[in-house]
């Protein structure tokens, strides 16, 4: 069994390297989460500003005719002309979009470090997430939040490695060694 010693030493060295590499990978990947949230919030804010601008145009048109936005939407929806009737739905959708985006932005901005991922998942807009991801640029985290996410990434990657790879392999090695000893006896 002496001829296996160099291989065991090499395996131990590779295991230590893998352990550290996974720590770095987990830290780098998870530290980007706050940056993604920040870039998502910028896009969300832009969508909200644009939706508010559209809604303000409807409000201005309604005010010029002496009605509310809801009344304008109802009046437009009641028209016989289909194109004008669809305008009522457009007005209602603009109002609902502003409410939805404002709610999401307020929730994300008010979320704590620990609740932000869950708030994000609850309020994220798939279209904005896709657009954010398509232009996402990684950044070096210089905030406490980035450090916390990096630490969480390290712990999760190590837990995954030890729980899903290392522990089952060690168990299999021990079982094999036990069978060899039992067979030798």
Query: Is residue 119 over pLDDT 60?
Result: yes
CA distance 156 to 149: 10
**Is 120 found in the same domain as 174?**
no
CA distance 162 to 170: 10
CA distance 81 to 5: 86
DSSP 165: I
User: Could you list the residue range(s) of the whole structural domain that residue 150 is in?
Assistant: 1-32+140-185
**Is 178 found in the same domain as 126?**
no
Predicted confidence (pLDDT) per residue in 60-103, tens digit: 999 999 999 999 999 999 988 888 889 999 999 999 999 999 99
Residue 47, CA distances (Å) to 30, 124, 129 in order: 26, 13, 12
**Is 115 found in the same domain as 45?**
yes
**Is 44 found in the same domain as 78?**
yes
pLDDT of residue 18: 84
Question: Beta-carbon neighbour count of residue 109 at 10 Å?
Answer: 12
Closest of 24, 62, 26 to residue 153, by C-alpha = 26
**Is 89 found in the same domain as 5?**
no
**Is 91 found in the same domain as 45?**
yes
**Is 162 found in the same domain as 75?**
no
Query: Is residue 4 over pLDDT 80?
Result: no
**Is 55 found in the same domain as 22?**
no
**Is 125 found in the same domain as 46?**
yes
Q: How many separate domains does the chain show?
A: 2
Contact 75, 64 (CB under 8 A): no
Predicted confidence (pLDDT) per residue in 126-175, tens digit: 999 999 999 999 988 888 988 899 999 999 998 888 888 777 877 877 88
């Amino acid at each position: 069994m002496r001829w296996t010693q160099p291989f065991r030493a090499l395996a131990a060295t590779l295991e230590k390297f893998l352990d550290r590499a996974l720590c770095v990978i987990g830290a780098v990947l998870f530290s980007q989460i706050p940056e993604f949230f920040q870039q998502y919030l910028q896009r969300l804010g832009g969508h909200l500003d644009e939706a508010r601008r559209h809604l303000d145009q409807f409000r201005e048109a309604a005010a010029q005719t002496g009605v509310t936005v809801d009344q304008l939407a109802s009046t437009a929806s009641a028209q016989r002309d289909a194109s004008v009737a669809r305008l009522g739905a457009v007005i209602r959708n603009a109002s609902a979009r502003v409410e939805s985006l404002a709610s999401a932005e307020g929730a994300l901005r008010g979320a704590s470090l620990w609740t932000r991922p869950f708030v994000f998942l609850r309020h994220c807009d798939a279209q904005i997430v896709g657009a954010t991801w398509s232009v996402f640029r990684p950044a070096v985290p210089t905030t406490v939040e980035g450090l916390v996410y990096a630490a969480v990434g390290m712990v999760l990657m190590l837990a995954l490695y030890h729980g899903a790879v290392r522990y089952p392999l060690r168990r299999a090695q021990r079982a094999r060694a036990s069978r060899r000893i039992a067979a030798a006896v």
